[in-house]
Chain A
Amino acid sequence: MDTYLDKLPSFVDEIRSIKDIIITNILLIGQIPSPTFKEKRRSTAFLERLAEFQVDECTTDGYRNPIGIIRGKSRGKPPIFVVAHLDTFFEQEADHNFTVNENTITGAGILDNSLGVGILVSLPEIIRKLNLQFESDIVIAGVIQSIGKGNLRGIRHLLKTWATPIRGAVCIEGFDLGRLSYYSHGMIRCEVECNISESSEVEHRFKPNAILILHEVINQILELRLPQKPRSRVIIGKISGGLKHGIIAYDATLGFEIQSVSYKMVHSIFDDIQDIVDGTSHEYKVDLSLNVISNANASKLEYNHPLVKTTSAILKKLDIKPSSMSSESELSIFLSHKIPAVTIGITHGDHYHQRNSIMEIEPMYKGIAQLIGVIMAIDSGVCDE
């Protein structure tokens, strides 16, 4: 392990020397709008770019996840997956044109996850520049339909239909350099929809207000006694509703996520919330529905798993302080398939999910060196035990 670990600091300068190509990839891919379910243009550009960089194989799977393969030396070794999700939070019409300064790039979706996708596309050129050759095939996959209602469909399909064993995987997120995710909490993402028909046949003594109904639901969720162990929480994340200031709201939607280290507990909390919703619906005589948007099983690698320990050592070698956190994205699907995997971040930044999201350029080179280090670690066998 030490042999490649010692090389990592020198990789940083080598990677910086092709910064024009790396930043160009981030711009050319990231400036293409790619809201969930509408990733086609970005996906096509992703494949075209990979083809231009002459990866050995370029294709899409049956779900139209774009994939490039860099062939390894050994036919017998299973492949290593490197993935980043192609979709972003921003709608098609939003201005996706980035602004580049000496030290930063600013624009909608840059940190989540246009930077990650740009690095993924640059990987063939970076590997060529560093003069590396791997035993395993490197499968470069941009996965679609990951965020929100996408419910990780792209990665689920890719892994479900991949015919051969997978040696290990690295998931790339733009933000934040130093993150080391090796566990996923169990999660159910839900929406509560409240509709009050204007011409309701139901007799109301007092006309209900959809926003106030959801307010009542929120209050009851907050009254739930959540256990300290297994650690669990409900995050109220989104709310929308109503038409204008002077009219009672007839529609409202509440988005929230139940998270726990135990998926059984997630289900138990979900059942409690279902009861709250049903009770409120009955009490106020309104249409109230609880819909599951996405879910993920709790899964994890142990901290002493060689992949986690090695990744941590790689970060330290590059003077990056590792910070563990859960990830409920692609990582959870790899782990639920018993494929050793980690999620790492590429650089520092600010305004993570805002239109003026900003990434720092210089730390990115260390972030890429770290990615190369993890691929080398998997290739050297840390996931093979």
Chain B
Amino acid sequence: MNDNWLKKNTFHFSEFKNLQLLVEAKQRKKLSISLCLPTLNEEKTIAKEIIIMKSELMSRYPLLDEIVVIDSGSTDRTMEIAKSFGADVYEARQILPHLKPYKGKGENLWKALYITKGDIIVYIDADIKNIHHRFAYALIGPLLLNDKIKYAKAFYDRPISIGKNRMRPTGGGRVTELVIRPLFSLHFPELTQIIQPLSGEYAGYRDIFEKIPFPIGYGVETAMILDIYNKWGLDVIAQVDLERRVHRNQDTQALGRMSFAILKTFINRIKALGIIDYKEEVYSEMIQYKLVKEEYTTEIYKLDGFERPPIIEIPEYREKFISFPKTGNLER
């Protein structure tokens, strides 16, 4: 097992604090950078994310070339608020409209590849309460300053909100420790060095993202790591400590559904790699039980685990991007 990776490819955000240096590297390499914020009912946090990124990484230091919001059909005021603060806002279902629409974060990220123009794309969840521009520049930094690194992922301490106006200093990451880390330990021990494989913040070259499939739902982060690892190896991946991230806490049932989707994605990958052989197909329904008025009621969630193919296989995408390829220095 390559256990040097943790030392060699783990960074702290403060190593990339010199924004002028990053801007110069970006200009020298003639690259453009897009920030994508996938949303679904994020009216409480979306404005902050846009304002801070725009102020610090566009107005003051021209590191980002665009901020794009891809929305899954919010029923609150997310889209109006995002527009009012100057982001380019799209509804996911209106992008490549001839394709059957799906709802999920992965769908938004995949469609963002078609909408955004950047050679580097930064994905940041839109529910971060303590958003800071380090969430973007610290993920861009390793890509600009290290020619080998093509994909950078965040990790952090994760205080969680516990009720109104109160915070608990540690917590979160339960699915990582209970699901992903045991699976990685069983099948890909090298990947256990990734501290928070499920973190929702990452940046990478378009050359990478366009060549991997995107599960439409929760499995997208797991799939991304496994596919990048299997295609290009661990050394193209970096992880960056962003210190503190405050986000909404999810209940155990929601985490159960998330784990189901992740397990499905994982099983699909290890089957495809020939690591494991299932005698029959796994089911696509997550079954949960709730006690309502002293009776258990069944709740069944259909989670197909549908995946979008690598977007480079989509003719419209090829037409738009392949005519003027940009360099991430990866073999196509």
Contacts and interface: CB of A to CB of B under 8 A. Distances in A.
Given A28-B52, A31-B130, A100-B51, A93 B167 contact: yes
Contacts of B60: 21
B246 interface: yes
B55 A20 contact: yes
Nearest to B246: A97
B52 A95 contact: no
A45 to B, nearest CB: 10
A101 interface: yes
B54 A97 contact: no
Contacts of A95: 129, 161, 164-167
A24 interface: yes
Contacts of A355: 165
B132 A21 contact: no
B56 interface: yes
A1 interface: no
B236 interface: no
A90 to B, nearest CB: 9
A102 B55 CA distance: 16
A21 B165 contact: no
Interface in B22-48: 43-45, 47-48
A290 interface: no
A23 interface: yes
**Of B56, B165, B166, most A-chain CB atoms within 10 Å:** B165
B166 A93 contact: yes
B59 A18 contact: yes
Most buried by B among A31, A95, A355: A95
Nearest to A19: B51
A94 B59 contact: no
Interface in A85-104: 93-95, 97-102
B258 interface: no
Contacts of B80: 102
B84 to A, nearest CB: 5
B44 A21 contact: no
B165 A27 contact: no
B286 interface: no
B167 A23 contact: no
Nearest to B131: A27
A31 B130 CA distance: 8
B167 A100 contact: no
Contacts of B183: none
Contacts of A97: 129-130, 246
Contact of A24 (B55, B77, B246): B55
A258 interface: no
A20 B51 contact: yes
A120 interface: no
Nearest to B162: A95
Candidate in A27, A108, A355 with the most chain B CB atoms within 10 angstroms: A27
Contacts of A31: 130
Interface in B50-90: 51-52, 54-56, 59-60, 77, 80-81, 84-86
B165 A99 contact: no
Nearest to B54: A20
Nearest to B163: A95
Nearest to B165: A95
A24 B56 contact: yes
A21 B166 contact: no
Given A95-B167, A102-B84, A108-B165, A24 B51 contact: yes
A15 B66 CA distance: 23
A271 B324 CA distance: 84
Nearest to B80: A102
A20 B165 contact: no
B203 to A, nearest CB: 21
Nearest to B77: A101
Contacts of A98: 48
Nearest to B48: A100
A27 B81 contact: no
B132 A99 contact: no
A99 B44 contact: yes
A24 B61 CA distance: 14
Given A93-B166, A95-B161, A97-B130, A20 B59 contact: yes
Contact of A94 (B47, B130, B165): B165
Contacts of B246: 97
Nearest to B43: A101
Contacts of B85: 20, 102
A99 B161 CA distance: 14
A28 B52 CA distance: 8
A21 B60 CA distance: 8
Given A93-B166, A108-B165, A99 B59 contact: no
A97 B164 CA distance: 12
| Interface hub of A23, A94, A100, A101 (most chain B Cβ within 10 A) | A100
A95 B161 CA distance: 8
Contacts of B43: 101
B45 A21 contact: no
Interface string A87-131: 000000111011111100000100000000000000000000000
Interface of A: 18, 20-21, 23-24, 27-28, 31, 93-95, 97-102, 108, 355
Interface of B: 43-45, 47-48, 51-52, 54-56, 59-60, 77, 80-81, 84-86, 129-130, 132, 161, 164-167, 246
- The list of the 4 closest CB pairs from A to B, nearest first, reads A100-B47, A24-B55, A20-B55, A97-B129
Given A28-B132, A99-B48, A101-B47, 10 more contacts: A21-B59, A23-B51, A24-B51, A24-B55, A95-B161, A98-B48, A100-B48, A100-B51, A102-B81, A355-B165
5 contacts: A20-B59, A21-B55, A21-B59, A23-B51, A95-B166
